[in-house]
């Protein structure tokens, strides 16, 4: 009977990860165009993956999303394909994977995380996304693409214009996570 439970758990995890891959794809197309880096709902769905699935499965969901984009499916906010690695905004996508892992680990360190823990986990994930995103954007623009961007414009367009919306998404994600985690756990998920 133990082997049967393992198969059920693996199947359930594959389905949950696939579900979040699909949500992240949808999140890429819900966007507000602003200069340099578009504001999307990807952060919300990557944070939810970490909170609801845990660090490992949440990160696997994001890595699945990245793999789909890199093999050529147009799932990123501005397309797809292996050449997307050379886009300055690709650092934010890398940050999604790492941020999701960290947010999931922090959130699920206790059995029933409260709103404050979930919010802290989201902010930790958000900081990681922006750290990866801004550093990568600066490096690719200045050292590879020969399209230099100064630190001030990078800070304004890559952080200041989009971070208020992402902060709001962190609060909303923590609110939803606080309500959904007990439901998932009562149904044997996580």
d(CA 50, CA 30): 20
Candidates 92, 94, 110; CA nearest to 54 is 110
d(CA 165, CA 161): 8
Residue 37: the pLDDT is 67
pLDDT-based confidence at 147, cuts 50/70/90?
confident
Residues 6+ apart with CB under 8 A from 147: 141
Beta bridge partner(s), residue 32: 39
> What does DSSP assign to residue 113?
-
Residue 9: the pLDDT is 86
Residue 4: the pLDDT is 65
d(CA 100, CA 141): 25
| Digit-coded pLDDT (tens) for 83-97 | 999 999 999 999 999
d(CA 43, CA 65): 13
Predicted confidence (pLDDT) at residue 141 exceeds the cutoff of 70 = yes
- Judge if pTM exceeds 0.85: yes
Dig out the tokens for 59 from the structure.
């990160």
Helix (H) or strand (E) holding 39: strand 39-40
Average pLDDT score over the chain? 92
| Digit-coded pLDDT (tens) for 28-39 | 999 877 766 677
């Amino acid at each position: 009977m133990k082997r049967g439970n393992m198969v059920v758990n693996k199947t359930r995890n594959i389905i949950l990860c696939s579900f979040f891959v699909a949500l992240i794809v949808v999140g890429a197309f819900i966007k507000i165009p602003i200069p340099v880096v578009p504001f999307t709902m990807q952060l919300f769905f990557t944070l939810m993956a970490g909170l609801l699935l845990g660090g490992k499965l949440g990160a696997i969901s994001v890595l699945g999303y990245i793999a789909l984009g890199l093999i050529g499916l147009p799932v990123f906010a501005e397309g797809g394909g292996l050449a997307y690695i050379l886009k300055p905004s690709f650092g934010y996508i890398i940050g999604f994977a790492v941020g999701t892992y960290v947010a999931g680990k922090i959130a699920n360190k206790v059995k029933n995380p409260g709103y404050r823990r979930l919010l802290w986990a989201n902010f930790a994930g958000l900081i990681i996304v922006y750290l990866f995103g801004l550093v990568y954007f600066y490096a690719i623009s200045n050292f590879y693409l020969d399209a230099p961007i100064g630190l001030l414009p990078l800070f304004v367009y890559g952080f200041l214009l989009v971070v208020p919306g992402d902060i709001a998404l962190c609060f909303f994600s923590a609110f939803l996570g606080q309500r959904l985690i007990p439901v998932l756990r009562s149904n044997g998920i996580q």
